[in-house]
Homo-oligomer: A and B are copies of this chain.
Amino acid sequence: MYRTHNNGELRAKNINTEVTLSGWVQKIRDKGFMVWVDLRDRYGITQLIFDEERTPKKVMDKASKVGREFVIQVTGTVIERESKNPNMPTGDVEILVSEISVLNTSLTPPFTIEDKTDGGEDLRMKYRYLDIRRNPVRNNLVFRHKVTMAVRNYLSEKDFVEVETPYLIKSTPEGARDFVVPSRMNEGQFYALPQSPQTFKQLLMVGGMDKYFQIVKCFRDEDLRADRQPEFTQIDCEMAFVEQEDILNIFEGLTRHLLKKINNVEIGDFPRMTYDEAMQRYGNDKPDIRFGMEFGELNTVVQHKDFKVFNTAELVAGIAVPGGNSYSRKEIDKLIDWVKRPQVGALGMVYVRCNDDGSYKSSVDKFYDQDDLAKWAETTGAKAGDLICVLSGETNKTRSQLSALRMEMAERLELRKADEFAPLWVIDFPLLEWDEETERYHAMHHPFTSPKPGQMELLNTNPGAVKANAYDLVLNGNEIGGGSIRIHDKETQSKMFDYLGFTPEEAKAQFGFLMDAFQYGAPPHGGLAFGLDRLVAILGGQETIRDFIAFPKNNAGRDVMIDAPAAIDKEQLKELNLAITLKP
């Protein structure tokens, strides 16, 4: 037997017990006549002591030869520790070692196995198995497990059934981003890896499963933005005989349960906001509502003077930055440079200092008097000591720029607190989204989303105005889930495919099975999917999903530890009837 106890469990009550422990050498202090070793495993650290007066010489000699990250097994007696360490659960005791064996040696690790390591991201990824030995990384993985168990148990108790849908499916119209898998048995043909189990979960509803969920890997072969992964995990759900309200209630319940169970935070009913309102108040369909700085729309207030920039703007909107009047002129100039960066893209920024004496000082004093500026302050909710920042231009662009500024100011003011949780439902999303590149509308959510009742007709006259039965759950400014009530009759689904530019042949080839299924008594249904990686990161109070994935890939989609993807054998290619067309 390798151990009688783990390294996190011995306490004062175990004193005088003989124990066997195994683990990694975290630290060695060798004073010659005495050696202390911190022995580590997943459960904690226990201090070992080797003492030339009480430890056999052979054992003493071996002990002085172990190095960091050696794997050792020791047997000894639990004794009271002379200088107790109240910061360690095992800090009351130490083990007086009588036997030691080295189970494995270790080279000096390429970075320190400490909570704060000296290893950079690249090195830690290459040696991810060593990185996982560090508490923060390992704790994140254990945390993720706790979240998934809580999700599974909650949904199971609510009669949801976890059903495994296939990974080897068929390429879909968003096919450009599908990973494909050549089949050996079916020559010249390919499976695709699912970007989501969407159609399968809908078929499960047609099949009467009633309530389905699955924690499932999904795949997307796209250029990776920062903090995206080619394989990612969803909590995927679908319910039959439900309206939007039913779905919001269930998954609000789940999220509330997680916040309570995992974070010990009680949240009341989640606020709801339409997409239009979110865009108007925050310039963003996933607003972080942990803090204010809501947009004030200033058009009626500003467009009566000679300031041409505002008069010709589709939207003039501002936010009141709390305490922002403390910014120096130089700092404000820097902020203006910041909004003009290509990533933000504003042409300039107008600002108003709200002085402590109630007066205002703006960058456009030439055009606006104190009464005007008082109205700006009123509209943006600015108080004495604040700084009003105003952007203007085309509506969507201005909103997006002002949203970026709002988030930046929140970061600087440390208003985005990791231990504060502000969930929000954003509802009534548009059905369609204009795509500049292809110059046509495409489905904002996906082609299975139903329009709001009676809005189907608008498709031909004002497509951009059609609202969908679609909703997102936003947590702390991140979209953590989204879903919709689906179309469940063949006719509407055909119309939708037609509208989205599928020929009947394409629709049949891609989704014939779904349309067939809709002919055999499909129930009304809807659902949603949570991004597990993101959800876990936010619950864990952190930003990067990579920190909650055991073996993540880098921005180029590579696993640098195993060095994948890689070339494959000619023989293998031949068996798959494939040739690589790249010039060497």
A579→B579 contact, CB < 8 A: yes
Which of A293-301, A321-329, A385-393, A565-573 forms part of the interface with chain B? A565-573
CA distance A577 to B580 in the complex (A): 6
**CB-defined interface of A291-325 with B at 8 Å, one 1/0 digit per residue?**
00000000000000000000000000000000000
> Which one, B567, B574, B575, contacts A190 given CB within 8 A?
B567
> Which one, B42, B144, B168, B181, contacts A553 given CB within 8 A?
B168
Those of A420-467 within 8 Å (CB) of chain B: none
A399 to chain B minimum Cβ distance, whole angstroms, is 32
User: Which residues of B sit under 8 angstroms from A186, Cβ to Cβ?
Assistant: 556-558, 565
Most buried by B among A231, A524, A551: A551
Q: Given A152-B149, A182-B180, A562-B513, A163–B523 Cβ distance below 8 Å?
A: no
**CB-defined interface of A532-561 with B at 8 Å, one 1/0 digit per residue?**
000000000000000001110100111101
- The reply on A33 being an interface residue by CB < 8 A is no
> Which one, B22, B145, B219, contacts A523 given CB within 8 A?
B22
Which of A78-86, A200-208, A275-283, A351-359 forms part of the interface with chain B? A200-208
CA distance A579 to B104 in the complex (A): 48
Copy total for this chain: 2
User: Which residues of B sit under 8 angstroms from A165, Cβ to Cβ?
Assistant: 550-551
User: Which residues of B sit under 8 angstroms from A230, Cβ to Cβ?
Assistant: 168
B104→A582 contact, CB < 8 A: no
- The reply on A162 being an interface residue by CB < 8 A is yes
CA distance A149 to B203 in the complex (A): 23
Q: Given A129-B206, A133-B207, A243-B2, A170–B107 Cβ distance below 8 Å?
A: no
A581→B579 contact, CB < 8 A: yes
- The reply on A128 being an interface residue by CB < 8 A is yes
**CB-defined interface of A117-136 with B at 8 Å, one 1/0 digit per residue?**
00000000001111111000
A520 to chain B minimum Cβ distance, whole angstroms, is 5
A519→B107 contact, CB < 8 A: yes
CA distance A206 to B241 in the complex (A): 48
B550→A204 contact, CB < 8 A: yes
A565→B133 contact, CB < 8 A: no
- The reply on A54 being an interface residue by CB < 8 A is no
CA distance A229 to B406 in the complex (A): 52
B138→A187 contact, CB < 8 A: no
> Which one, B24, B516, B522, contacts A521 given CB within 8 A?
B24
- The reply on A153 being an interface residue by CB < 8 A is yes
B564→A168 contact, CB < 8 A: yes
Which of A171-179, A254-262, A473-481, A495-503 forms part of the interface with chain B? A171-179
- The reply on A156 being an interface residue by CB < 8 A is yes
CA distance A24 to B207 in the complex (A): 10
A162 to chain B minimum Cβ distance, whole angstroms, is 5
B42→A130 contact, CB < 8 A: no
- The reply on A188 being an interface residue by CB < 8 A is yes
> Which one, B105, B175, B210, contacts A41 given CB within 8 A?
B210
CA distance A163 to B140 in the complex (A): 11
A183→B550 contact, CB < 8 A: no
> Which one, B3, B107, B204, contacts A241 given CB within 8 A?
B3
A105→B567 contact, CB < 8 A: no
A156→B149 contact, CB < 8 A: yes
Binding site for B on A (CB under 8 A): 1-3, 6, 22, 24, 40-43, 69-71, 103-107, 109, 127-133, 138, 141-142, 144-145, 148-149, 152-153, 156, 161-171, 175-176, 178-193, 199-200, 203-204, 206-211, 217, 219, 221, 223-224, 230-231, 233, 241-243, 246, 488-489, 512-513, 516-524, 549-551, 553, 556-559, 561-569, 571-572, 574-582
Query: Closest 9 CB pairs between A and B?
Result: A132-B207, A106-B521, A170-B564, A189-B565, A2-B241, A42-B210, A69-B521, A129-B203, A129-B207
